[in-house]
Amino acid sequence: MTLLDKDLVSIQEVRTLVKSAKIAQQKLQSMSQEQIDKIVKAIADAGYENAEKLAKMANEETGFGKWEDKIVKNVFASKMVYENLKDTKTVGIIGEDKENKIIEIATPVGVVAGLIPSTNPTSTVIYKAMISLKAGNAIVFSPHPNAKKCILETVDIIRKAAIKEGCPAEAIGCITTPSIQGTNELMKHKDTSLILATGGEAMVKAAYSSGTPAIGVGPGNGPAFIDKTADVALAVKRILDSKTFDNGTICASEQSIVVEKSMETAVVNELKSQGAYLLNEEESKKLSKFIMRANGTMNPQIVGKSVDTICKLADLTNVPSSARVLVARETKVGHDVAYSREKLTPILAFYVEENIDAVMTRCREILLNEGAGHTFSMHANNEELVKTFALHMPVSRVLVNTPSALGGIGGSTNMIPALTLGCGAIGGSSTSNNIGPLDLINIKKVAYGVKEVEELRGSKAQTSNLNIDLSGKEELIDMLVKRIIQELR
């Protein structure tokens, strides 16, 4: 008996899945809005009903985060996302402007490749399936190998629910033998129309380099600014709530706190009173060496882990068991400065600057080093200051007085609920949106003529009605030129 290589099995499976998905998508495309909406609701209901089961599976398999918080993520991905998109028109004529004589018609993109990370595996499957099917597209998932079991279970649950409402079985597919080669085949396949990429920076870059249109997410590395007009206790509470939610695995979560010198004592005292542990210089250096590997990448052992686990791994013996977050003072920003980069775990950098201008400069520096286009948060009760920062921050989301992790995804704000957050051109992304079904359709436009060629050219009659005296224009131009030259001297 000949044993096939894993990569060959994976590639062949992808080809079969995409071929079947294309046929299924053509069936979806012939369905009415009502039929599509029933399928999407079935997926949402199945995700909601199995939220706890899938959360526990994900936590057990990956070792990331907290299963209690993963329940919230699953509920968010199913119930909140559904409530937001349920009334959105995505089939047939979705808009008509009678005054300007324009009709808009939704056209599905086709087969979507859904790349799923290990940090938010089950919730991302539910979310991506819902927005893809809502837009009339089929989807084929590529699971992270470290979360394969819980991803396959999620796909099985939502597929069965969708089929009961008339969805073609092949419209929701998933690679069962995941490999880099298989994922590459999925991204580059001629019948894959769009890639929804959520995961590590290298994987997102591969998606954009595949030759297939892609919507990807760059790294989040959002600083959180606490202004002197803020309620400091509430600001710190929101930041710590956010950073400890699922042990910091949401990319929109805060990665550093930035304050003015005048706010340092108040913020430090509040951090300590609410359970943050400020590392001393020796502890900070020790942890820094552990969380960043020699090749400049973050140590995956810290991702989604509790403070207690991190301390054991890094041999930090003096941190109390009650500590919720580790905070390290920092004065530098750079690719080789661990605390200035994205840390998907309960670790925060702490920067103290002389004044508001220095705070703004520091926040921009942090984001442009890593996290450009993603998210910035601030805590302030000065609307003009909020606008000033918003105008200067190189991000797609500016969140005010809210936990950044939950605000960025639309949980604690009125932004579109989403688990794929575009970073715009500055972040290497094709969009700055929180991705919803309208990002997964093309819009065909019907336009009626409203002008004849004579109107575009302009008639002689119109020209003759312009009572403009053009006599002596040469003298006027000569005079103006001389005056300009004289003023420039």
- Residue 112 near residue 137, CB atoms below 8 Å: yes
Terminal C-alpha separation, the chain? 90
State which amino acid sits at residue 463.
Answer: T
Interatomic CA distance for residues 409 and 417, integer angstroms: 5
Q: Of 174, 251, 311, 423, which one is the catalytic site residue?
A: 251
Question: What's the DSSP call for residue 165?
Answer: T
Distance of CA 52 to the CA centre of its chain: 24
Contacts 24+ apart (CB under 8 A), 67-73: 69/245, 69/246, 69/247, 70/122, 70/123, 70/246, 72/245, 72/246, 73/120, 73/122, 73/123, 73/246, 73/419
251 in active site: yes
Query: Of 18, 15, 28, nearest to 173 (Cα)?
Result: 18
Q: Which of 137, 127, 169, 152 is nearest to 43 (CA)?
A: 127
Instruction: List, in sequence order, every residue forming a beta bridge with 106; answer none if it has no partner.
Output: 92, 443
- Cα separation, 136 vs 118, in Å, equals 26
Q: Where are the alpha helices (DSSP H) in 107-250?
A: 121-134, 148-164, 180-188, 201-208, 232-244
Burial 162-177 (b: 16+ CB within 10 A, else e): beebebbebbbbbbeb
Beta strands in 198-298 (DSSP E): 214-216, 223-226, 256-260, 276-278
In whole angstroms, how far apart are CA 437 and each of 207, 425, 441, 442?
Answer: 20, 20, 7, 10
CB 231 within 8 A of CB 220: no
| Count of beta carbons in the 10 Å neighbourhood of residue 381 | 13
Q: Which of 223, 216, 218, 198 is nearest to 398 (CA)?
A: 223
Strand 102-108 with 441-447, pairing:
antiparallel
Considering Cα of 105, then 108, then 109, then 114, what sign does the dihedral take?
positive
CA distances from 268 to 217, 234, 331 (A): 33, 14, 16
Q: Which residue has the tokens 């918080």?
A: 69
Instruction: Count each helix (H run) and each strand (E run) in the chain, helices first.
Output: 19, 15
Q: Could you give the residue numbers annotated as active site?
A: 251
